[in-house]
Homo-oligomer: A and B are copies of this chain.
């Protein structure tokens, strides 16, 4: 039976008083304004405004906008997976290493064909995504089934993946990326917009819609909010966690493939900080490392802030070392502003 079918008599009084206590329903816009993501967007806009005033032509030049967008897009792809992971109260330190591994595996596969047939890039993409999925599966199994701490698991898989990638390359960056994908993806544009940016937009939108509107996303919040409760509610928590780490791995695999097309070589030395950067973006975007909280648009804002800062500070000509100081200060200012808004709102 369900109570939907049970008739009710004795509760009219309570219904009346219930009406009394229901708060007025808020509009979608109001909820967005109330969301913890807003102020990060606000900070982003303030930062952009400052640079625009200081160096309008250079900062708003097509070249710069395009490059910032590409830079943010690459990070966004990693941060998309990381958003899911962090909402489940997990963490994935292996993304940078998996990115490197996937790009190496993909390039080796493409070179091994010795051909430049149009299916070779497709094979490369498949290998990159499969490599990412493989490492994600390893992480997910150890975390969900063996119940190990995500920090240690992904730290270990980071070391293993990176070590194997270096073994496969012999320690030097490989070249020989098919020209076709470098020109069509790496530096390609459609309607003036870089192809990488388009890919990232589509990817992040789909992942965002899935997070906020589908069952999969809902379960992600539920697992992060109360894992035991989710289990008792019949959610297959283990399977869900595994698929989320696989997804994070696939994100890294995709980013690895795109990295190949951007740099037309592997970049095995360059991604040591990618994990921290992705985590920072997600946390800046309002997510909590304790799980249950976070959003994809928050992450998007969180991704852009460091990118815009890095570019803007160079453009206004701040010396390198001052840039590090400035980035730190702006980060603090952004979260302080956010905190201030939340406090004035809720108590």
A interface list, Cβ under 8 A from B: 91, 93, 142, 146-149, 151-153, 155-160, 162-164, 166-167, 171, 272-273, 276, 279-280, 283-284, 288-290, 320-329, 331-332, 335-336, 339, 343
Contacts and interface: CB of A to CB of B under 8 A. Distances in A.
26 contacts: A93-B276, A146-B336, A148-B332, A149-B283, A149-B288, A149-B335, A151-B280, A152-B283, A153-B332, A153-B335, A155-B276, A155-B280, A155-B331, A156-B329, A156-B332, A158-B328, A159-B324, A159-B328, A159-B331, A163-B323, A163-B325, A166-B321, A167-B321, A167-B322, A171-B320, A272-B273
A160 B325 contact: yes
Contacts of A331: 152, 155-156, 159
Chain A interface main SS type: helix
Contacts of A276: 93, 155
Contacts of A149: 283, 288-289, 335
Given A167-B322, A321-B167, A335-B148, A156 B328 contact: yes
A72 B153 CA distance: 22
A336 B152 CA distance: 11
Contact of A146 (B155, B280, B339): B339
Nearest to A277: B155
A284 B280 CA distance: 23
A324 B156 contact: no
A293 to B, nearest CB: 11
Given A146-B336, A149-B335, 9 more contacts: A91-B289, A148-B335, A148-B336, A151-B283, A152-B331, A158-B328, A162-B324, A163-B321, A164-B325
Contacts of A160: 324-325, 328-329
